[in-house]
Amino acid sequence: MSAEQLLSSVPESDTVIVADLEAGIGTLTRLPEASVDSTLVIVEPTPRSIDVGQRAVLVATERKQGHITIVANKVATHEDEERIRTAFGEHPVVTVPLDPVVVAADRQGASPVDVDPNALAISAIGGLVPVLIETTDT
Amino acid sequence: MKIAVVGKGGSGKTSVSGVLARSFARSGHNVIGLDCDTNPNLGLSLGVGDLETERLLSLRDQIDEGEQQHAHTWDDILDAYGTDAPDGVRLTVVNRIDNPEPD
Protein backbone atom coordinates (compact mmCIF):
# COMPACT_ATOMS: atom_id res chain seq x y z
CA MET A 1 0.00 0.00 0.00
CA SER A 2 1.49 3.36 -1.00
CA ALA A 3 1.75 6.39 1.25
CA GLU A 4 -0.97 8.09 -0.83
CA GLN A 5 -3.37 5.13 -0.59
CA LEU A 6 -2.70 4.77 3.11
CA LEU A 7 -3.18 8.42 4.03
CA SER A 8 -6.37 8.75 2.04
CA SER A 9 -7.86 5.57 3.50
CA VAL A 10 -7.06 5.99 7.20
CA PRO A 11 -10.34 6.21 9.08
CA GLU A 12 -11.12 9.51 10.83
CA SER A 13 -10.56 9.22 14.58
CA ASP A 14 -9.26 11.11 17.58
CA THR A 15 -5.78 9.81 16.84
CA VAL A 16 -3.33 12.40 15.55
CA ILE A 17 -1.42 11.18 12.51
CA VAL A 18 1.75 13.06 11.68
CA ALA A 19 2.84 12.03 8.16
CA ASP A 20 6.39 12.93 7.19
CA LEU A 21 6.08 12.98 3.39
CA GLU A 22 8.93 12.53 0.91
CA ALA A 23 11.20 15.50 0.25
CA GLY A 24 9.83 17.82 -2.43
CA ILE A 25 6.19 17.75 -3.48
CA GLY A 26 5.94 14.31 -5.14
CA THR A 27 3.63 12.64 -2.61
CA LEU A 28 1.55 15.79 -2.32
CA THR A 29 0.88 15.83 -6.07
CA ARG A 30 -0.26 12.19 -5.97
CA LEU A 31 -2.34 12.44 -2.79
CA PRO A 32 -6.09 12.20 -3.51
CA GLU A 33 -8.06 15.39 -2.82
CA ALA A 34 -8.85 16.21 0.82
CA SER A 35 -6.80 13.31 2.23
CA VAL A 36 -5.55 15.29 5.24
CA ASP A 37 -6.93 17.88 7.63
CA SER A 38 -3.84 20.02 7.76
CA THR A 39 -0.68 20.61 5.73
CA LEU A 40 2.47 21.88 7.38
CA VAL A 41 4.94 23.39 4.92
CA ILE A 42 8.46 23.46 6.36
CA VAL A 43 10.62 26.20 4.90
CA GLU A 44 14.16 27.27 5.72
CA PRO A 45 15.26 30.76 4.70
CA THR A 46 16.91 29.80 1.40
CA PRO A 47 15.60 30.58 -2.11
CA ARG A 48 15.27 26.89 -3.11
CA SER A 49 13.46 25.94 0.08
CA ILE A 50 11.08 28.88 -0.30
CA ASP A 51 10.47 27.91 -3.94
CA VAL A 52 9.60 24.30 -3.02
CA GLY A 53 7.41 25.61 -0.18
CA GLN A 54 5.48 27.91 -2.52
CA ARG A 55 4.87 25.05 -4.93
CA ALA A 56 3.69 22.88 -2.02
CA VAL A 57 1.22 25.59 -0.98
CA LEU A 58 -0.18 25.77 -4.51
CA VAL A 59 -0.66 22.01 -4.75
CA ALA A 60 -2.10 21.68 -1.22
CA THR A 61 -4.54 24.52 -1.92
CA GLU A 62 -5.60 23.15 -5.30
CA ARG A 63 -6.10 19.67 -3.87
CA LYS A 64 -7.85 20.86 -0.72
CA GLN A 65 -5.38 19.32 1.73
CA GLY A 66 -6.79 21.10 4.77
CA HIS A 67 -5.55 24.15 6.60
CA ILE A 68 -2.07 25.26 5.49
CA THR A 69 0.49 26.46 8.04
CA ILE A 70 4.00 27.58 7.13
CA VAL A 71 6.81 26.66 9.51
CA ALA A 72 9.70 29.10 9.12
CA ASN A 73 12.45 26.76 10.27
CA LYS A 74 16.12 27.41 11.16
CA VAL A 75 15.45 31.11 11.48
CA ALA A 76 18.56 32.97 12.72
CA THR A 77 17.73 36.63 12.05
CA HIS A 78 14.79 38.97 11.71
CA GLU A 79 15.58 39.15 7.98
CA ASP A 80 15.26 35.34 7.70
CA GLU A 81 11.80 35.49 9.20
CA GLU A 82 10.70 38.44 7.07
CA ARG A 83 11.90 36.75 3.86
CA ILE A 84 9.65 33.78 4.59
CA ARG A 85 6.65 35.84 5.77
CA THR A 86 6.86 37.97 2.63
CA ALA A 87 7.06 34.90 0.38
CA PHE A 88 3.91 33.32 1.85
CA GLY A 89 1.61 36.32 2.05
CA GLU A 90 -1.60 35.61 3.89
CA HIS A 91 -0.71 32.15 5.19
CA PRO A 92 -0.03 31.83 8.92
CA VAL A 93 3.68 31.46 9.71
CA VAL A 94 5.06 29.81 12.86
CA THR A 95 8.74 30.54 13.46
CA VAL A 96 11.20 27.93 14.74
CA PRO A 97 14.64 29.30 15.61
CA LEU A 98 17.91 27.82 14.42
CA ASP A 99 18.83 25.75 17.47
CA PRO A 100 22.10 23.95 18.24
CA VAL A 101 20.11 21.29 20.12
CA VAL A 102 18.45 20.18 16.87
CA VAL A 103 21.83 20.09 15.13
CA ALA A 104 23.33 18.06 17.99
CA ALA A 105 20.38 15.63 17.97
CA ASP A 106 20.78 15.12 14.24
CA ARG A 107 24.45 14.25 14.69
CA GLN A 108 23.65 11.84 17.52
CA GLY A 109 20.75 10.18 15.68
CA ALA A 110 18.55 11.15 18.62
CA SER A 111 15.33 13.04 19.15
CA PRO A 112 15.84 16.72 19.98
CA VAL A 113 13.25 16.18 22.73
CA ASP A 114 15.60 13.72 24.43
CA VAL A 115 18.67 15.92 24.00
CA ASP A 116 17.10 18.98 25.65
CA PRO A 117 13.33 19.16 26.15
CA ASN A 118 13.63 22.84 27.08
CA ALA A 119 15.35 23.90 23.85
CA LEU A 120 13.88 26.92 22.07
CA ALA A 121 13.09 24.96 18.90
CA ILE A 122 11.20 22.32 20.90
CA SER A 123 9.04 24.98 22.56
CA ALA A 124 8.35 26.62 19.19
CA ILE A 125 7.34 23.32 17.56
CA GLY A 126 5.23 22.45 20.62
CA GLY A 127 3.44 25.74 20.02
CA LEU A 128 2.05 24.23 16.83
CA VAL A 129 -0.14 21.82 18.83
CA PRO A 130 -2.82 24.36 19.88
CA VAL A 131 -2.59 26.08 16.48
CA LEU A 132 -3.29 22.84 14.63
CA ILE A 133 -6.09 21.83 17.00
CA GLU A 134 -7.71 25.23 16.64
CA THR A 135 -7.53 25.34 12.86
CA THR A 136 -8.57 21.76 12.19
CA ASP A 137 -12.17 20.65 12.14
CA THR A 138 -12.19 17.39 14.05
CA MET B 1 -6.60 14.57 12.71
CA LYS B 2 -4.30 13.88 9.76
CA ILE B 3 -1.36 16.22 9.28
CA ALA B 4 0.89 16.14 6.19
CA VAL B 5 4.38 17.56 6.67
CA VAL B 6 6.08 18.68 3.45
CA GLY B 7 9.15 20.64 2.39
CA LYS B 8 12.41 20.55 0.51
CA GLY B 9 14.98 17.96 1.57
CA GLY B 10 17.15 19.45 4.31
CA SER B 11 14.48 21.91 5.47
CA GLY B 12 14.19 20.12 8.81
CA LYS B 13 10.91 18.44 7.86
CA THR B 14 11.67 15.21 9.68
CA SER B 15 12.94 16.91 12.86
CA VAL B 16 9.77 19.02 13.00
CA SER B 17 7.62 15.92 12.39
CA GLY B 18 9.31 13.98 15.19
CA VAL B 19 9.14 16.79 17.72
CA LEU B 20 5.56 17.62 16.75
CA ALA B 21 4.46 14.00 17.20
CA ARG B 22 6.11 13.85 20.64
CA SER B 23 4.55 17.22 21.58
CA PHE B 24 1.03 16.01 20.69
CA ALA B 25 1.65 12.82 22.69
CA ARG B 26 2.89 14.78 25.70
CA SER B 27 -0.29 16.84 25.63
CA GLY B 28 -2.38 13.68 25.97
CA HIS B 29 -3.18 12.68 22.37
CA ASN B 30 -2.89 9.26 20.76
CA VAL B 31 -0.31 9.76 18.04
CA ILE B 32 0.89 7.82 15.02
CA GLY B 33 4.03 8.91 13.21
CA LEU B 34 3.85 7.86 9.57
CA ASP B 35 7.20 7.87 7.79
CA CYS B 36 6.41 8.30 4.08
CA ASP B 37 9.81 9.70 3.13
CA THR B 38 11.97 7.93 0.56
CA ASN B 39 14.82 8.37 3.02
CA PRO B 40 13.02 7.27 6.19
CA ASN B 41 14.54 8.78 9.32
CA LEU B 42 11.48 9.70 11.35
CA GLY B 43 12.43 6.94 13.81
CA LEU B 44 15.58 8.82 14.74
CA SER B 45 13.73 12.11 15.26
CA LEU B 46 11.16 10.32 17.39
CA GLY B 47 13.89 8.77 19.51
CA VAL B 48 13.59 5.04 18.73
CA GLY B 49 17.30 4.84 17.89
CA ASP B 50 19.38 3.49 15.02
CA LEU B 51 18.80 -0.22 15.52
CA GLU B 52 14.99 -0.06 15.70
CA THR B 53 14.84 2.36 12.76
CA GLU B 54 16.94 -0.04 10.70
CA ARG B 55 14.79 -3.00 11.76
CA LEU B 56 11.68 -1.24 10.46
CA LEU B 57 13.42 -0.40 7.19
CA SER B 58 14.47 -4.03 6.79
CA LEU B 59 10.85 -5.09 7.20
CA ARG B 60 9.86 -2.69 4.41
CA ASP B 61 12.64 -4.06 2.21
CA GLN B 62 11.39 -7.61 2.77
CA ILE B 63 7.93 -6.56 1.64
CA ASP B 64 9.33 -4.86 -1.45
CA GLU B 65 11.32 -8.01 -2.25
CA GLY B 66 8.26 -10.24 -1.76
CA GLU B 67 9.63 -12.06 1.29
CA GLN B 68 6.82 -10.73 3.45
CA GLN B 69 3.19 -10.34 2.58
CA HIS B 70 1.76 -6.85 2.26
CA ALA B 71 -0.54 -5.87 5.08
CA HIS B 72 -3.87 -4.78 3.66
CA THR B 73 -5.57 -2.84 6.39
CA TRP B 74 -4.54 0.14 8.46
CA ASP B 75 -4.53 -1.90 11.70
CA ASP B 76 -2.50 -4.69 10.08
CA ILE B 77 0.10 -2.18 8.95
CA LEU B 78 0.37 -0.62 12.39
CA ASP B 79 0.69 -4.04 14.01
CA ALA B 80 3.10 -5.60 11.58
CA TYR B 81 5.29 -2.71 10.54
CA GLY B 82 5.14 -0.36 13.49
CA THR B 83 7.09 0.16 16.67
CA ASP B 84 6.54 2.03 19.90
CA ALA B 85 8.40 5.33 20.25
CA PRO B 86 8.83 7.40 23.43
CA ASP B 87 5.81 9.20 24.92
CA GLY B 88 3.52 6.54 23.44
CA VAL B 89 3.88 7.52 19.78
CA ARG B 90 3.39 4.60 17.38
CA LEU B 91 5.75 4.77 14.39
CA THR B 92 5.18 3.10 11.03
CA VAL B 93 7.41 3.24 7.97
CA VAL B 94 5.36 3.31 4.77
CA ASN B 95 7.84 3.13 1.96
CA ARG B 96 11.43 3.01 0.97
CA ILE B 97 12.54 3.73 -2.56
CA ASP B 98 16.17 3.39 -3.53
CA ASN B 99 16.00 5.97 -6.29
CA PRO B 100 13.91 8.86 -4.99
CA GLU B 101 12.81 11.63 -7.30
CA PRO B 102 14.89 14.79 -7.10
CA ASP B 103 13.46 17.67 -5.07
- Tell me whether residues B74 and A11 touch, CB distance under 8 A: yes
User: What's the burial of B34, exposed, middle or buried (CB within 10 Å: 0-12/13-18/19+)?
Assistant: buried
Mean pLDDT of chain A: 94
In A, minimum Cα distance to B53 occurs at A109
B74 part of a folded domain: yes
- Tell me whether residues B23 and A22 touch, CB distance under 8 A: no
- Average pLDDT (A87-100) is 96
Give ipTM to 2 decimals. 0.96
Q: What is the pLDDT of residue A107?
A: 95
B86 part of a folded domain: yes
Full residue range of the structural domain in which residue B69 is found: 14-93
Q: What is the pLDDT of residue B42?
A: 95
Distance CA A115, CA B57 (A): 24
A124 part of a folded domain: no
Q: pLDDT class for B102, splitting at 50, 70, 90?
A: very low
Q: pLDDT class for A46, splitting at 50, 70, 90?
A: very high
Q: How many CB pairs under 8 A join A and B?
A: 227
| Domain total of chain A | 1
Q: What is the pLDDT of residue A137?
A: 56
A102 part of a folded domain: no
Distance CA B38, CA A121 (A): 25
| Domain total of chain B | 1
User: What's the burial of A104, exposed, middle or buried (CB within 10 Å: 0-12/13-18/19+)?
Assistant: middle
A85 part of a folded domain: yes
List all residues of chain A from 57 to 116 with a beta carbon under 8 Å from chain B.
60, 65-66, 71, 73-74, 96, 102, 105-106, 109-114
A113 part of a folded domain: no
A51 part of a folded domain: yes
pLDDT in tens, B59-74: 777 766 666 666 667 7
Full residue range of the structural domain in which residue A37 is found: 3-97
Per the model's pLDDT, the better-predicted residue between B78 and B6 turns out to be B6
